[in-house]
Amino acid sequence: MHINWFKYSSPQTFYPLAGKMIPWFYGLAVLFALAGLYVSFALAPTDFQQGEAYRIIFVHVPAAWMSMFIYIVMAGWAAFGLALNARLSAMMAQALAPTGAMFTFLALVTGSLWGKPMWGTWWVWDARLTSELILLFLYLGFIALQSAIDDPRRSDRAGAVLALVGVVNVPIIYFSVKWWNTLHQGSTISMTAAPKMVTIMLLGMLFMALAFWMYSIAVALVRVRCIILERERSTEWVKNLFGEEK
């Protein structure tokens, strides 16, 4: 069976598809979160150096991963919207920004909670921490810029430019522990080397990362449906949609 995926590039056709996908992604998020919390806090052993305090990494590390990953995806959607004048792409970028900002804030807060017992302080102007804070400001700037411009087309273009300029900060965050002297420990998981942690710990972290990923998709789909209705409210199909619901 051949599926014409290009037809879903239209807000009108994507809206019902998104509605069908949301419950599945929410369900997967709950299942992965339950599995991740059980493995992380019930099965994973106590760290011989950090004690029980290390368990915050099961939230902190996946949140930090998502903060960077969502920004790259957001900038990609914004670039598609800018280059192809695709309305849905711009809407997806707008829908992802609040979730990315939330995970960035969560990464900073949990990092501070972890840093206090490990480093003896809540915050240091470390290269990794500072660049992650800049990422939060980029998310907030993207949201504020789009909210400040009434015309959707102009706000999409302005937001896309900001998002694309800010992409340079993502590799800085990732490689900061290699490029500069930093208190923040290096990457525990690498694509080119064996993991530096016990398998059960790695499993808990991956479950939590998948839970955050599924949650991000579900929330983005909910939000993009709201954006579609707001922007398309004067179109005939939206009027018919609400007429049918009544």
pLDDT, one tens digit per residue, over 184-224 is: 555 555 544 445 567 888 898 999 999 999 999 999 999 99
Q: What is the distance between the alpha carbons of residues 40 and 58, in angstroms, rounded to a whole number?
A: 7
Q: What is the distance between the alpha carbons of residues 185 and 9, in angstroms, rounded to a whole number?
A: 42
pLDDT > 90? residue 1:
no
Q: What is the distance between the alpha carbons of residues 163 and 201, in angstroms, rounded to a whole number?
A: 34
The angle formed by the CA atoms of residues 216, 220 and 222, to the nearest 5 degrees, is: 120
Reduced DSSP (H G I as helix, E B as strand, rest coil) percent helix, strand, coil of the chain, to 5: 80, 0, 20
Q: Give the SS3 label for residue 20.
A: helix
- The pLDDT mean for the chain works out to 84
* 76: Cβ contacts below 8 Å, ≥ 6 apart: none
Lowest mean pLDDT among 49-53, 56-60, 125-129, 143-147: 49-53
pLDDT > 80? residue 166:
yes
- Furthest-apart CA atoms within the chain: distance in Å: 64
> Where are the domains positioned within the chain?
39-188+199-240
pLDDT > 90? residue 25:
yes
pLDDT > 90? residue 24:
yes
Q: What is the DSSP letter of 47?
A: B
For the whole model, what pTM was predicted?
A: 0.86
Q: What is the DSSP letter of 10?
A: S
pLDDT > 70? residue 15:
yes
Residue 51, phi then psi, degrees to nearest 5? 70, -150
CA atoms within a 13 Å half-sphere pointing along the CA-CB vector of 240: 4
Beta bridge partners of 47: 51
Model confidence pLDDT, tens digit, residues 121-142? 766 778 788 889 999 999 999 9
Query: Quick one: pLDDT at residue 165?
Result: 93
Structure tokens given for 154: 């102009």
Higher pLDDT, 227 or 186: 227
Considering only CA atoms, give the Rg of the chain.
Answer: 20
Q: What is the distance between the alpha carbons of residues 80 and 71, in angstroms, rounded to a whole number?
A: 14
Q: Report which listed range, 18-32, 43-57, 84-98, is most confident.
A: 18-32
Query: Quick one: pLDDT at residue 49?
Result: 66
Closest C-alpha to 138, from 83, 74, 223, 188: 74
Contact (CB, 8 A) for 94 and 227: yes
pLDDT > 90? residue 28:
yes
Closest C-alpha to 245, from 15, 86, 89: 15
